[in-house]
């Protein structure tokens, strides 16, 4: 098990910047864009979420984690950073090479004034890409 004090972490501004830069880089075919993985439950995701986040609830994470790509950076997020920290440690312990916890979670994301969506997800919203 990875030491909880050694889990790679980024703040919400850095996570947002990486997601934005990754989208631009992907358009230019330079590098794979980071993927924001929300490990909260579906009802929490419906209340508020970061645009483009994929939903993989912690309650099903052990069963579904193999669906996550290993060839692109993963940014893990939850409400406050605790559950996503657990998911980050789990993935690193299982061989995922580029994973970081988004410190402060969606609470910090909202406080920072970063873009959010709320309400029932659109069809396909929250699903893993392709």
Is 5 or 34 the better-scoring residue by pLDDT? 34
Q: Compute the average pLDDT of residues 104-129.
A: 97
pLDDT band at 119 (very low <50, low <70, confident <90, very high): very high
17 lies in which domain range?
7-111
- Tell me whether residue 98 is exposed, middle or buried, using C-beta atoms within 10 angstroms of its C-beta: 0 to 12, 13 to 18, 19 or more: middle
Quote the pLDDT of residue 3. 63
Global pTM value? 0.93
Assess if residue 120 is contained within a domain: no
Assess if residue 52 is contained within a domain: yes
Assess if residue 126 is contained within a domain: no
Q: Which of 39, 54, 77, 78 is catalytic?
A: 78
Spatial separation of the C-alpha atoms in residues 5 and 25, rounded to whole Å:
31
The alpha helices in 48-128, defined as continuous H runs, are: 61-64, 82-93, 105-111
Spatial separation of the C-alpha atoms in residues 92 and 100, rounded to whole Å:
9
- Range in 18-22, 29-33, 106-110, 114-118 the model is least confident about: 29-33
| Catalytic residue flag (residue 69) | no
The DSSP 8-state label assigned to residue 29 in this structure reads T
CATH code at position 84: 3.40.250.10
pLDDT tens figures, 44-84: 999 999 999 999 999 999 999 999 999 999 999 999 999 99
Assess if residue 81 is contained within a domain: yes
Q: Please state, in angstroms and as integers, the Cα–Cα distance from residue 121 to each residue in 61, 65, 69, following that order.
A: 20, 21, 22
Assess if residue 41 is contained within a domain: yes
- Identify which of 69, 126, 127, 76 has the alpha carbon closest to the alpha carbon of residue 104: 76
**Number of structural domains, the chain?**
1
Assess if residue 121 is contained within a domain: no
pLDDT tens figures, 46-56: 999 999 999 99
């Amino acid at each position: 098990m990875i030491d909880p004090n050694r889990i790679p972490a980024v703040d919400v501004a850095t996570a947002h910047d990486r997601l934005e830069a990754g989208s631009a880089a992907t358009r230019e075919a330079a590098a794979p864009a980071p993927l924001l993985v929300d490990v909260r439950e579906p009802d929490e995701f419906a209340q508020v979420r970061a645009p483009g986040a994929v939903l993989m609830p912690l309650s099903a994470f052990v069963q579904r984690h193999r669906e996550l790509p290993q060839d692109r950076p993963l940014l893990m997020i939850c409400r406050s950073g605790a559950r996503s920290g657990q998911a980050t440690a789990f993935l690193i312990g299982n061989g995922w090479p580029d994973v970081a916890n988004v410190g402060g979670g969606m609470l910090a994301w909202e406080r920072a004034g970063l873009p959010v969506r709320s309400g029932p997800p659109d069809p396909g919203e929250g699903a893993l890409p392709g």
